[in-house]
Structure 1
Amino acid sequence: MSLEFEKENFDQLFEEAFDQKSEEINEQLSRKILISMVGDVNSGKSSTINKLMDKDLASVGAQPGETVQIQKYVYKENIVFVDTPGLDDVVEENSDVTIKYYQQSDVVIFFLNAAGTVLSENELKNFRKIEKITNDIIIVLNKIDAADDVPNLVKYIQDHTDYAYPVVPISSRTGENIGMLQTKLLEVLEKKSKDVLMAQNLKDKSSIANKWILAAGASSAAVGASPIPGSDFIPLTGIQVGLMIKLSTLYDKPVSKENAKELIIATVVGNIGKTVFRQIVKFVPAAGSIVGASVAGAMTVALGYAVKYMHEHDIELRAEQLKTIYDKFLKKEKKNPSI
């Protein structure tokens, strides 16, 4: 299949990929996310969501033992956190209302206090009732900054919940492992095609972008295409277009169809050699082991990190900017070839 033939068909391939991926993302952004939080009033629910979203979304400071009504915290209309009172109140007195929330929730975050009695008999009893309603549960062990032997506490929780759910040890006070909670939350929402909506509103966008870029690089490596368009050009174009649109949505900086096309052409059918891509990947943590020797994988990772760089530095997504950014990487490589 000739290069000329592929370039003649590129417009159609690109248009279809761009329209499809844009429609998928826009459909996600039109949905709603409901997250229920369960735990005693002193387990740090409010401070955790404030740290996660980097906003003073929920009030903090309820006194231990205080009975609090179920509260909703709405973030930008389509993301709703439901903060419930103590476990006894939730399950026994407000069970009908609470069960409805659990049934409708995309995720239930079950909070435990590492500085207290972890997974008490009553907590475990209530947890068993919740998992009969939903399996989309993340267990958060909060206040690890005030606890000893956290690994054993995590193992204790896992042992008593059959290793069926992620257990995330965090400190909502110091922010430790909030990124881990963010990752687990997005993993659950990805199964429901709501991860992009949530990611767009989370605090740590950089680590999300990194994961998306490496995942796209791995997918491209599996396709196995090279910079010279061939039979694998169609799926590779879809992966790269999809990555660009997701990154632009994440940073809330929409990419135009024309600029996206310029970037794809400059990367795939431009004059950038495969050696350049492999050199650029050296600057991306974990990229080498993921993309292996694949030119397509390296090419996608390089493109993804260039787009991320442009968004984070308020640079317009244009092909000429792409070349400038690649040149910066190469200059660093010449100065420190051991990287």
Structure 2
Amino acid sequence: MQDQNTEQLSDELEKQIRDAAEEAFDEEVESVNDQLEKEITFALVGDINTGKSSTVNALMEDELASVAPEPGQTIEVGRYYYTEKIVFVDTPGLDDVIKKNSEQTMKFFRQADVILFFLNAAGTVLSDGEMKVFKKLKRKNNNIIFVLNKIDAVDESEVDGLVQYVKRHTATNLPVIPISSKEGTNVQELREEILDMLKKNGKDLLFARHLRDKSPVANKWIYAAGGAAGTVGLSPIPGSDIVPITGIQVTMMVRLGKLYDKPISKRRAKELAIATVVGNIGRTTFRQAVKVVPVAGSITAAGVAGSLTVALGFAVKYAYEHDLDVDVDTIMSLIPKYYEEPKVKDQTPPK
């Protein structure tokens, strides 16, 4: 009788997961497809000796093509297209931003998704001209990242001081990223800051899928999904309401598929969500985890939910990066490689 009830619970839970997976899949596919139809404009500001072009090439790990100004433009605005939907807009220098006839330039800055404000670490950081331009830009658009370039030309001990100097004198919490476009130092940190800024406008995936090295982005998304699943704190066993966790996992799989340009099908996403939670992997890992504490509490449940979601994400990522089929057999065989038992303390009340 008990086996029959357990089987019935499992069937009911599987239906819940299937319905939740379908809903999450449809919503996320619509969301990412909408994002991929958008455009990203980067505005570059800084003097000609701040290494704008070399930084952009290092950022995208590619040489960008320059496009001449459109007919009728009264100022020189350089456009560098990475794709038809990702464009870097540059001006010759700071003087053009200050000129009275620079309305065309200011239009680009107002519309920019990200403004990369370049400073020369080996020169006069935040000169009067740079401060004047910064104050003007900030009134138009606050999506500014300071790029403190050429740190390879100064003593390493001076870098943090220069970063703090920029923060103090601009009196903002805007990010300041010290880099060396020449040596590639901290270019990944700049990418991550850009992705965080683009995420606010729902454009981070559009940028990320064109990066050559997608692994850091995938890792960040996977750990974020694991954290979200852990926060839900539901245990992946028959009888639990795991609808939110299913949505998190399916959303993660859809985004990873789009990131690697290998979209996952709705059927596969549902199969993997079901197998992860009510299959042998989910049931076995939960039974192992509850041995950590005398009574399985919410901490254990949250740990299992988070760990399984992370393991699922890394298994899917591994399959994409090694051209493996993202099917149940492959992913379930990979999950144990990435699964870590939740580390929880004994919650037994003191005597």
TM-score, length of structure 2 as denominator length = 0.84
* Closer/same/farther in 2, CA of residues 22 and 316 from structure 1, 3 Å limit: same
Q: 2:87 is paired with a residue of what secondary structure?
A: strand
1:189 aligns with 198
Partners of 1:12 and 1:42 in 2: CA distance: 57
Task: Quote how far apart the aligned CAs of 1:10 are.
Answer: 3.2
Which one of 89, 102, 123 corresponds to residue 96 of structure 2? 89
Q: Does 1:316 align with 2:316?
A: no
Whose Rg is larger? 2
Which one of 34, 37, 45 corresponds to residue 30 of structure 1? 37
* Closer/same/farther in 2, CA of residues 91 and 229 from structure 1, 3 Å limit: farther
Task: Quote how far apart the aligned CAs of 1:200 are.
Answer: 0.8
2:81 aligns with 74
2:294 aligns with none
Q: 1:42 is paired with a residue of what secondary structure?
A: coil
Task: Quote how far apart the aligned CAs of 1:276 are.
Answer: 4.4
Aligned 8 A contact 2:196 2:204 in 1: yes
2:47 aligns with 40
Task: Quote how far apart the aligned CAs of 1:316 are.
Answer: 1.2
Aligned 8 A contact 1:278 1:295 in 2: no
Q: 1:48 is paired with a residue of what secondary structure?
A: helix
Q: Deviation per CA, 1:8-28: give whole Å up to 9, x if none.
A: 333322211111111011110
1:110 aligns with 117
TM-score, length of structure 1 as denominator length = 0.87
2:163 aligns with 154
Task: Quote how far apart the aligned CAs of 1:55 are.
Answer: 1.1
Partners of 1:307 and 1:211 in 2: CA distance: 14
Q: Does 1:177 align with 2:186?
A: yes
1:165 aligns with 174
Partners of 2:81 and 2:65 in 1: CA distance: 9
What is the number of equivalent residue pairs in this alignment? Answer: 315
1:255 aligns with 264
Partners of 2:238 and 2:30 in 1: CA distance: 25
Q: What amino acid sits opposite 1:27 in the alignment?
A: D
Matches within 5 A, 1:283-302: 294-302=303-311
Which one of 204, 207, 214 corresponds to residue 213 of structure 2? 204
Aligned 8 A contact 2:234 2:301 in 1: no
Q: Does 1:15 align with 2:15?
A: no
Aligned 8 A contact 1:291 1:297 in 2: no
Q: Deviation per CA, 1:20-71: give whole Å up to 9, x if none.
A: 1110111100111111010111211111111111110156xxxxxxxx9321
Q: What amino acid sits opposite 1:235 in the alignment?
A: P
Partners of 2:144 and 2:287 in 1: CA distance: 40
Q: What amino acid sits opposite 1:122 in the alignment?
A: G
Q: Deviation per CA, 1:269-301: give whole Å up to 9, x if none.
A: 11014674899xxxxxxxxxx999621111110
Q: Deviation per CA, 1:211-245: give whole Å up to 9, x if none.
A: 11111111101111222154531111110000001
Task: Quote how far apart the aligned CAs of 1:90 are.
Answer: 2.6
Aligned 8 A contact 2:44 2:89 in 1: yes
Q: Does 1:124 align with 2:140?
A: no
Aligned 8 A contact 1:217 1:291 in 2: no
Task: Quote how far apart the aligned CAs of 1:252 are.
Answer: 1.1
Q: What amino acid sits opposite 1:96 in the alignment?
A: E
Aligned 8 A contact 2:233 2:301 in 1: no
Q: What amino acid sits opposite 1:38 in the alignment?
A: V
Q: 1:51 is paired with a residue of what secondary structure?
A: helix
Q: Deviation per CA, 1:301-334: give whole Å up to 9, x if none.
A: 010111111111111101100122135458x99x
1:241 aligns with 250
